[in-house]
Amino acid sequence: MQQEKVRAMQVQRGQSQEEVIRALRQQIDELTAANLRLQEQLAARKQDSASNSNLPHLNAVQWIKAASGLSQERIGRLIGVTRQTINRWENGEPITDSNRRRLFAVRDVLERATLRHTTPAELAAWLDTPDAVDGHTPAELLEVGEINKARLIAISTPSPGLATSPEWVRRPIPEAFLAGAEHRQEALRLEKDDEPVAPAFGEDEEWEELPNT
C-alpha cells in the first residue's frame, strides 16, 4: 500500500515537472515572437527614415544645417516655421506648398552666398552682418520673407573703394510727412484757352521802366 502511494506521488511529481517545462517553453515562444515583431518594427522605422531622408524638402533642411551650422530653431526662423514643424517633417508629416517654396528660396540664397563664404562659420557670419545700404542683415531679410533683397546681397560683391552711405539715409521717415502734413507743391497745367495771370500789385506800387541799353 505504501509503495503505491510512493508511486502515485512520483507520477504526480513527474506530471508537475512536465507542466512547468511546457509553461516555460510557451513563455519562451511568446518572448521570441515578441522579439521578432519588435525587430520588424525597428526595421520598418529605419526604412521609413531612409525613404524620408530622400525627400527634397528634408534634403534642403539638411543642406542648410550642414552649410551654415545653424541650429534647427534658427533654420526654422529663416524659413518661417518652428522647430517642432521641422521635427514633424522628419517624422513623415507632409510639407505645405508655401513652406516648400519658402524653404527652397532660402536654400537658393544660401547656395549663392556660399560661392564667397565657403565655410559654415563664414556663412553664419554673413547672415548676421548688416548690409551697408539699409542696415538689415541677410538673416533678418529672410525671416521676414524679403527673399529678393537677401539674394541681391548674396550675389553682390562690394567694391573695396565704395564709401558707406551716410547715417541720414537710414533715418526713418518723419511721421508728419507720412501723415500728409508735408507735401510738395505741384504746378497746375494751363488749359488751352487759359491765359497766364499777371501778378497783382498794390495800388501804391508802380511799374518801373528799365532804361534802354
Look up residue 161 and give its amino acid.
Answer: G
Give ∠ CA 70-73-75 in degrees, rounded to 5. 50
**pLDDT for 133:** 78
Interacting residues of 77 by C-beta distance below 8 A, sequence separation 6+:
143
Instruction: Using 70 as the pLDDT threshold, list the residues of the chain that sit under it.
Output: 1-15, 43-54, 157-170, 176-213
Whose cell is 522628419? That residue is 90
Distance in angstroms (rounded) separating the CA atoms of residues 124 and 120: 6
Residue 80 · residue 102 · CB < 8 Å: yes
| Distance of alpha carbon 72 from alpha carbon 89, whole angstroms | 12
pLDDT digits (tens, 9 = 90+) for 91-134: 889 999 999 999 999 999 999 999 999 999 999 999 999 987 77
Q: Which pLDDT score is estimated for 50?
A: 47
Q: How far is it, in rounded angstroms, from Cα 48 to Cα 94?
A: 14
The whole-number pLDDT of residue 199 equals: 54
Contact between 92 and 40 (Cβ < 8 Å): no
User: Reduced to 3 states, what is the DSSP secondary structure of residue 107?
Assistant: helix
DSSP state of 181: S
Left (φ > 0), alpha (ψ -120 to 50) or beta: where does 85 sit? alpha
Taking each helix axis from N to C end, the angle separating 56-68 and 120-127, rounded to the nearest 10 degrees, works out to 90
Q: CA triplet 176, 181, 186: central angle to 5 degrees?
A: 130
pTM of the model: 0.53
Question: Please, which residues have CB within 8 angstroms of residue 82's CB and are 6 or more apart in sequence?
Answer: 73, 76
Among 100, 97, 95, 158, which Cα is nearest to 126's? Answer: 158
Task: Tell me whether residue 151 is exposed, middle or buried, using C-beta atoms within 10 angstroms of its C-beta: 0 to 12, 13 to 18, 19 or more.
Answer: buried
Q: Name the grid cell of 39.
A: 525587430
| Largest pairwise CA distance in the chain | 169
